[in-house]
Structure 1
Amino acid sequence: MLRIALMLDADHLFTLANGDEDRFYTVLKSLEKKAPCRMVDAITPAMLAILKQMLHCPYCGMTQRIFLEGKAMELLAHKLEQICPCGCDGTGINASDTERVHYAARLLVHDLENPPDIMTLTRSVGLNRNKLHRCFRQVFGRSPFEYLRNHRLQAAMQLLQGGETNVTEAALMVGYTNLSYFTKAFKSMFGVAPGKLRK
């Protein structure tokens, strides 16, 4: 498993947001204390493509630095658009529907043990099933079920890495009642069985 961390000075981000502070108010407000801020969300297909380009950079020296800095800024643009969508990204989703999709995502992962079913979710956000699925894929690059599954497995990974939770407990805490299904899904996502990870 690879992890890429991009760190940006808060003052630099304030400079970049010059003239667009209202849109990025939530992000900028969280950085006012000058403390490190981590914003977790799904990795979209576009972000994944950039990350792969960074990992397989064909250059070296100064050219490599320029290439990686450019890709880092491109990744930042995708992340900021994900956090504060402007509603004009060319996907055909208006700002209201994008906001509803983000609300649906928050509802899905609020209680991993007891997430809402699709009918409850559609009623809560005011979108029909087909539109929710279509908009969800355009915003997050995956279906609501895939989004929930990924968050459940990532939460289980964190529990197991903490070392105080066994595999069965971790599976139950993130909403899996079938241990063999959990193990299969976990290994498919992370390339290692949960039991081996805990050891």
Structure 2
Amino acid sequence: MSATAHMLALAMDQGTSLPPAQPRSSLWLYGQSVTLVSLFLQARQDAECTCRVSHTDRQRLVRARDRLLEDLGKAPSLSELARESGLSQPKLTRGFRQLFSNSVYGVFQQMRMIQARSRLMSGEESVMRIASDLGYANASHFATAFRKQFGINPSMLKNGGRGKSLGAG
């Protein structure tokens, strides 16, 4: 955000910072202004979101997330996770959304898919083996979840897609 603000300040001070041959267009200035405002609003939203979670609850939520991700083949139940973390179920689910910007299951599922992608890219295991290790009894359910997350079938990644860059979806 500060880099965008700095560039805007330099561009607006055309007399000293920019050579006369490179004036900034009003469209460029408008675009940078919109970027700056959006970055500011995003930073403020993120700050507000985590501020509503107390320090103690934040620690409990991090512990709950660590427990959730211990075994990517089987997620603990929501009631078990809440009990072990010392939070009520509503506070646990609300806290996950506030702190991790995802549901409890969403955090679990995202990490499973990241693990699956990593293992597929290593090329040493079958799709079925990875699906089974990650708790999928049915390979087609795994393929559907993988395709939803990354936009391609897991077999495509296994069969030569190693050079492709896949985002987090």
Task: Give deviations 1:24-52, integer Å, cap 9, x for gaps.
Answer: xxxxxxxxxxxxxxxxxxxxxxxxxxxxx
Q: How many residues align structurally?
A: 124
Higher normalized helix content (fraction of residues): 2
After TM superposition, which residue ranges in structure 1, 4 or more long, deviate above 2 angstroms?
88-91
Q: Residues of 1 paired with 2:130 and 2:91: CA distance?
A: 33
Query: Which residue of structure 2 aligns with residue 134 of structure 1?
Result: 94
Find the counterpart in structure 1 of residue 81 from structure 2. 121
Alignment of 1:43-192 (within 5 A): 91-192=51-152
Contact 1:161 1:198 in 2 (8 A): yes
Structure 1 runs not aligned, ≥5 long: 1-57, 82-87
1:76-130 deviations in Å (ceiling 9; x for gaps): xx7xx9xxxxxx8664210010111111111111111132111111111011111
Mapped partners of 2:158, 2:59: distance in 1: 37
Q: Which has the larger radius of gyration?
A: 2
**Contact 2:136 2:142 (C-alpha < 8 Å) held by counterparts:** yes
Q: Distance in 1 between matches of 2:88 and 2:150?
A: 33
Q: Which residue of 1 aligns with 2:13?
A: none
Conserved in 2, the CA contact under 8 Å of 1:119 and 1:129?
yes
Q: Which runs of 5 or more structure 2 residues have no equivalent in the other structure?
A: 1-26, 160-169
Retained in 1: the 8 A contact 2:97–2:103?
yes
DSSP-derived class of the 2:69 partner: helix
Q: Is the CA contact 2:49–2:98 (under 8 Å) kept in the aligned structure 1?
A: no
- Residue identity over aligned pairs, in percent, reads 31
* Alignment TM-score, normalising by the size of structure 2: 0.65
- Matches of 2:130 and 2:50, distance apart in 1: 40
Q: Is the contact made by 2:49 and 2:99 (CA closer than 8 Å) also made in structure 1?
A: no
| Aligned residues of 2:50 and 2:98 also touching (Cα < 8 A) | no
With the length of structure 1 as denominator, give the TM-score of the two structures.
0.55
